[in-house]
Structure 1
Amino acid sequence: MNLNMTLPQRPLTIKRDVLSLPFVYYFSPPIILALLVAMFCMEGPGILRDLQIKQAPLELKDGDIQGSCRTKKAIFTSCEAKLTYAYDGVKHVAETDFMFVDLHSGDYEASIVISKTDPKLATLSLGLSMLWNRIISFLAFGFLLAAGLVLLLLTLFRILRSRGYIRQPGMLSLVPVAITASSESRGRLTLTYADTVREDKTKRMAFTQLEKGAEPIVIGESKGHPVALAAWHEHASVPVLLDSRLERINLAQEERANLLRTLTDQGLIGEQSENHPQAKSQFFVQSLKVFAAAVLLLLVALFGYWLWYVFAAPSQFTSPATDINNMMPAPLNRWACTHLQERFGDQNAPFGCVADDFKSWK
C-alpha cells in the first residue's frame, strides 16, 4: 500500500507543540556532565600517580597508615588513607584515595608503596594490586556516562530542530512507526514511538502527547509493538505521530474530510485498536529481555577470561582476574588455585589463593 498517495501533494505545515520532550532530557545532560568531570577529577589523578609508582615500586616496611575502606552497594569499595613515612631520612606525608569493584568480606591488608624515582609519590599496595580493576571500572563508568550524554544531546537536538522545521511548509509523507511506551493522564495519551518499522528505518525515537480524547491511528503490530501512522516532514529529523482526527496537519476542512475518507476506505482508519495501552508493559518485557541477554553475555565473557587466567595467564597476579577468581564459588576457587599452584607453586600465592600469612598457597 502506498501511503504517500493519501496526502495532498503540496507543501504542508504541522501544528506546533506536537513533538514533546520528557523533562529528563533538559536537566540530565548537565548532571551527567558534572558527574563525568567529578569522576575524572576524583579518580584520574590517583590512577596516573599509581601508574607512575608501578614503574618503579618500593614497598616500605615501616610507616603509618590512617584510613579505611568502605563498601557500598555490595561491590563498590572506596578507600581513603593518610600515609606518613620516612625515606632516606626525609619524612613524607601523602594522601591517597581510590575506588574499585570487588566482592569482598572482612578487612583488607595493605602497606605503603612509594616510587623509587620520586619518593614523594606514595600509595597503598591494595591500590596497586587493584590498579587494572580501577582502570577498567573508570573507563567503563566513563564510557557509559559519555554514551548516555551523547544520546541525550542527539535526541534533544533532533526534537528541537524538528519542532522548527515542521511549522514551515514542506512535503509530507506517511510512515509507520512503532509505539514503544504509553501512559495516560487526565484523558491525554503520552506516547513514545520509534522509526523501526519501514525498510529504510532510522531507529530514531520521539515523544508526543495527544490532545485530550485523541488516539493514534493504529494500523497493525510489529515485534509486539502497536504500529501507528505518522507524518514525516521533508526537513525534519523525526516523524510526527498523527491523531485519528488528523488535526495535527494544517489542512483545509475539505482536504481533511477527503483524507479521512480515503484512509477509512483503505482500512487505515476504522475501529481503533486497543493495543496501545499495552505498549508500556511490552516495552518493559522487551527491555528485561535485552538486560538479561546483556548480563548473560557479560557472565560468559567473565567466565572465559577466568579460564584464560587459570590456564594461560603469564602471571598469577594478573588483575582483575585475581578478583574474579576470589569471587568464584568455593569449589571453583579451589580448583583454580590448584591449577595455578601447579604453574606458579614456586612463587607467592595471588589474592584469592593466598593463606593467612598472605604469601603461601592455601
Structure 2
Amino acid sequence: MSFVDLPLPNRSIALTGRPVAAPAAMLFTIVMLAGLAIGLGIWQGPGLWRDLQISQNPMTLPNGQVLDGECSTRRGLTDCEAQLVYDYDGKSYDTHVSLAFLDFSSGDYEVDVVISRGKPELATLSLGLEMLWNRLAVFAVFMLVFVGGVVAMLWGAWQAGRANRAAATPGRLVVVPVEVAGIDNKRGAGFVSYFATENGKRKGHVVRTRFAAGQAPLMALDARGKMFGVAVKSEHVGLPVLLDSGLERLELDDAERQLALSTFDVEQEGRGGLAANVPAKPSAGRRALRGLLAGLGVLVLLIGGLVGYWVYYVTSGGDAFESLGMEINNMMPEPLNLWGCEQLEARFGGGRAPFGCTADDYTSWKTATTKTKS
C-alpha cells in the first residue's frame, strides 16, 4: 500500500521531459578539476619520474653547486626550487629542480647534489630523494581528489542521461516517498535535491531534478504527519523520480490527472493540510554544515590513524628506517619529534639515526646532541 492515496491508471505510463538532472555546476567543476590535475601533473610529474630513476642508482656529487635554492611552506606543504650546476665525466650540466612535500617542521635543509650514475644528466637534491615517498603520497592524494572528482561528475551525468532515456519508456509505476534535501532557485528554474527513503531513513545517493518556472515538487504528509516528497519508481528506472504538483511529468490525460489530484487533495486535507502546496524549505546551510562536519570527521580519523601509527613506530616498530614512520616522525612538532627520537634511540641507539632524528652530520642521533647541550 502506498504511503499516500494517489491513484494512477493501471497501465504502463511514461515520464515526460528529462526528470533527472546532471550534478550541480558539472561543467565548471570538470573544467576546474581537470585543469588542476593537468597543472599538478606538469608541475610535479616530471620531477617525480626523474627522482624515481635517480633513486635506482644515486651518486652524490660533493662539488655540485646549488644556486638560488629556496623553500617556502604554506600550511605544511613545502615547495622547494633550486638551480643545480655540476661537472661529471668531463661535461658540464645546468638544470632546474622543483619539488613539493608535506612537512610541518621548521628550520633550514642541508642538501647535496645527487645524480644518476647511468644517466648523469638526471640530477636532483638529496632532499628530493629523502622525501620521495612523501612527495609521491602528496601527489597521489591530490591527483586522486582531482581525477576522482572529474570521474564522479561524469558518472553522475551518465547516470542522469541513462535514467532520462529509460524514463521515456512506458512502464508500471510505484508511488514512493523521498526526502527533499533542498531547493536551489536559479534563473527562474528550481533545482531540487532529494534522497530515496526506506523505513523513514535515507537510502542511496542524492538525486537532483529540475522544475521549470511555475512548477513545484509534489509534497505530502504521511499517516504519521511527516512531510515527504511524492515520487514514482518505474520498472525501467532505478532512481525514484520526484513528481511535480500538477502531475505534468506523467503522460496522463486530463481526466486521469484530475482524478489522481482530487483524491490526493482529499486525503491530505484529512491529514492536516493541503500538502501539495507546501514548499520544501531550502537547507543550504544545513547541507554545508553536514559537509563540513563530514570533512572534519574524515580529517580527525586520518590524523588519529597517523598519530597511532607514529606511536607504534617509535615505541614498538621493528625497523627504525621504516619509510612512513620516518616521514610522520619528521613532520611532528619539535617536542613530539624529540620524544619520538628518544624512544627510537632507546631501542636502536647502537646504529645510525633514521631520517627525522639525525644531527647536523646526518648520521648521529640529535637527541644525544640535545642532552649534551642541556
Cα offset, 1:35, TM superposition: 3.4
In the alignment, what sits opposite 1:334?
338
Match of 1:271 among 260, 274, 293: 274
Structure 1 range deviating more: 268-277 or 163-172: 268-277
Cα offset, 1:291, TM superposition: 1.8
Contact persistence 1:192–1:208 (CA under 8 A): no
Contact persistence 2:196–2:202 (CA under 8 A): no
The 1:104–1:13 alpha-carbon spacing in structure 2 relative to 1, beyond 3 Å, is same
In the alignment, what sits opposite 2:309?
305
Distance, in Å, in 2 between the alignment partners of 1:329 and 1:72 is 15
Query: Can you give the 5+ residue segments of structure 2 that lack an aligned partner in the other structure?
Result: 368-374
What TM-score results when the alignment is normalised by the length of structure 1? 0.84
Distance, in Å, in 2 between the alignment partners of 1:227 and 1:192 is 13
**Which amino acid in 1 is paired with 2:349?**
G
Contact persistence 1:67–1:79 (CA under 8 A): no
Cα offset, 1:320, TM superposition: 4.1
Structure 1 range deviating more: 256-265 or 181-190: 181-190
Cα offset, 1:155, TM superposition: 0.9
Distance, in Å, in 2 between the alignment partners of 1:216 and 1:67 is 66
Q: How does 1:1-362 map to 2 (within 5 A)?
A: 1-2=1-2, 6-21=7-22, 24-71=25-72, 73-184=74-185, 189-197=190-198, 201-203=203-205, 205-209=207-211, 211-212=213-214, 214-219=216-221, 227-267=228-268, 270-272=273-275, 276-277=280-281, 279-313=283-317, 315-356=319-360, 358-360=362-364, 361-362=366-367
Question: Structure 1, residues 110-129: CA drift from partner, whole Å, max 9, x if none?
Answer: 11112233323211111011
Contact persistence 1:46–1:97 (CA under 8 A): yes
Contact persistence 1:326–1:333 (CA under 8 A): yes
Distance, in Å, in 2 between the alignment partners of 1:238 and 1:33 is 28
Cα offset, 1:154, TM superposition: 1.2
Distance, in Å, in 2 between the alignment partners of 1:93 and 1:78 is 20
Contact persistence 1:85–1:93 (CA under 8 A): yes
Distance, in Å, in 2 between the alignment partners of 1:166 and 1:262 is 25
**Which amino acid in 2 is paired with 1:136?**
A
Contact persistence 2:104–2:333 (CA under 8 A): no
Distance, in Å, in 2 between the alignment partners of 1:217 and 1:246 is 12
In the alignment, what sits opposite 2:372?
none
Contact persistence 2:215–2:244 (CA under 8 A): no
Question: Structure 1, residues 311-357: CA drift from partner, whole Å, max 9, x if none?
Answer: 34455444343343234344432221111122333444444434455
- The 3-state SS of whatever aligns with 1:183 is strand
Cα offset, 1:17, TM superposition: 4.6
The 1:186–1:208 alpha-carbon spacing in structure 2 relative to 1, beyond 3 Å, is closer
The 1:72–1:156 alpha-carbon spacing in structure 2 relative to 1, beyond 3 Å, is farther
Contact persistence 1:180–1:282 (CA under 8 A): no
- The 3-state SS of whatever aligns with 1:15 is coil
The 1:67–1:194 alpha-carbon spacing in structure 2 relative to 1, beyond 3 Å, is farther
- The 3-state SS of whatever aligns with 2:281 is helix
Contact persistence 1:131–1:319 (CA under 8 A): no
**Which amino acid in 2 is paired with 1:181?**
G
Query: Can you give the 5+ residue segments of structure 1 that lack an aligned partner in the other structure?
Result: none
Distance, in Å, in 1 between the alignment partners of 2:342 and 2:363 is 15
Question: Structure 1, residues 96-120: CA drift from partner, whole Å, max 9, x if none?
Answer: 2222122243432211112233323
Aligned residue pairs: how many? Answer: 360
Structure 1 range deviating more: 198-207 or 333-342: 198-207
Distance, in Å, in 2 between the alignment partners of 1:200 and 1:339 is 48
Question: Structure 1, residues 71-115: CA drift from partner, whole Å, max 9, x if none?
Answer: 364222222222111234433333322221222434322111122
The 1:73–1:237 alpha-carbon spacing in structure 2 relative to 1, beyond 3 Å, is farther
State the Cα RMSD in Å: 3.3
Question: Structure 1, residues 166-220: CA drift from partner, whole Å, max 9, x if none?
Answer: 3443333222222223234688643111234369954352232354263431446
Identical residues among aligned pairs (%): 34
Distance, in Å, in 2 between the alignment partners of 1:105 and 1:186 is 50
Distance, in Å, in 2 between the alignment partners of 1:250 and 1:46 is 59
The 1:104–1:193 alpha-carbon spacing in structure 2 relative to 1, beyond 3 Å, is same
Contact persistence 2:183–2:281 (CA under 8 A): yes
**Which amino acid in 2 is paired with 1:283?**
R
